[in-house]
Amino acid sequence: MRIAVITGASSGLGREYVREINEREADYEEIWAIARRASQLEELRHSSRIPVRIFALDLTEEESIREIERALLEEKPEVGLLINAAGFGKIGNYGEISRMETDRMIDLNCRAAVDMTYVCLPHMVRGSRIMEICSTAAFQPFQHLSVYAATKAFLYRFSRALRVELFPRGIKVTAVCPYWIRDTEFIPVASGSGGSSRIRHFPLSHTVRSVAFHSLLDSRLGFAVSTPGIVCTLHRIAAKFIPSELMMGIWALIRRL
């Protein structure tokens, strides 16, 4: 059995990946959808042409990772695609984000993504693909997004190195680095606890449909990095040449617009 594994599948970008796979990738016999909210996963299952197996789990908990690992060992599927779309962010300075929220960001954005990658890799074959959902925030330090940006930089660097390690096995790894996505829960959730005053607007933001479509195409083409939009593409280029201190100064101006 050939499967696609998608974390953060109950809403936003993860949910859109399920829809895109149904429309454009026909070689999966089952999708394993992982997220905390069982009711939304049930809705997803009813709307999917490809059978969906539900895992209502919190990936910040070690037992959740073990449950996925056990299921893979018992079923012995071929994992053709892993999309680590589960993520969490908060906007605010060091005094506005609690230690619990900070720990959750690090656990979900970094440890859980790495753990899911490692438990799926033994079940991958030549031609399998991994998509690590990073962010354009991975390209530079961001004040008032300091921890979130740091977690995405970690995942970005992990993806780039893992790609080279997996060359001999013929497994493709793509770091997906979108700009703001306006039709997900990220912006309202991240803007809580005072964060909304730190960033006033989110201009030129993308849609989940655009990001999912273009990043899946980039993954099929074997790109190391997917910047699915003009803003994140320009940001990636600029960050290669402009010092971080100046980039943070530019960010300080942009976020007040």
Task: Please identify which residue in the block is written with the tokens 């607007």.
Answer: 201
**Is residue 183 a contact partner of residue 208, using CB atoms and an 8 Å limit?**
yes
Element (H or E) spanning 20, and its range? helix 12-24
In angstroms, the CA 12 to CA 173 distance is 22
pLDDT band at 228 (very low <50, low <70, confident <90, very high): very high
**Is residue 14 a contact partner of residue 8, using CB atoms and an 8 Å limit?**
yes
pLDDT at 59 over 60: yes
CA distances from 83 to 7, 11, 61, 109 (A): 6, 14, 19, 13
Specify the amino acid at residue 63: E
Write down the pLDDT at residue 63: 98
Which residue range(s) make up the domain with 103?
2-254
Overall average pLDDT of the 97-118 stretch: 96
Q: Which of 92-96, 123-127, 203-207, 210-214 has the lowest mean pLDDT?
A: 203-207
Burial 137-151 (b: 16+ CB within 10 A, else e): bbbbebebbbbbbbb
What backbone torsions phi and psi does residue 68 show, to the nearest 5 degrees?
-65, -45
Instruction: Supply 84's token pair.
Output: 């680590």
Residue of 29, 68, 74 lying closest to 48 (CA atoms) = 29
Instruction: Supply 10's token pair.
Output: 């109950």
Instruction: Supply 101's token pair.
Output: 């929220």
As for how many domains the chain has, the answer is 1
pLDDT at 189 over 70: no
pLDDT band at 245 (very low <50, low <70, confident <90, very high): confident
Q: What angle do CA 109, 208, 36 make, to 5 degrees?
A: 45
Instruction: Supply 79's token pair.
Output: 């994992």
Write down the pLDDT at residue 194: 46
Write down the pLDDT at residue 248: 76
In angstroms, the CA 166 to CA 14 distance is 24
Write down the pLDDT at residue 126: 98
In angstroms, the CA 16 to CA 216 distance is 11
In angstroms, the CA 223 to CA 217 distance is 9
**Is residue 65 a contact partner of residue 119, using CB atoms and an 8 Å limit?**
yes
Q: What is the CATH number of the domain that holds 32?
A: 3.40.50.720
CA distances from 110 to 63, 132, 247 (A): 17, 10, 24
Could you tell me which residue, 230 or 200, shows the higher pLDDT?
230
In angstroms, the CA 32 to CA 54 distance is 6
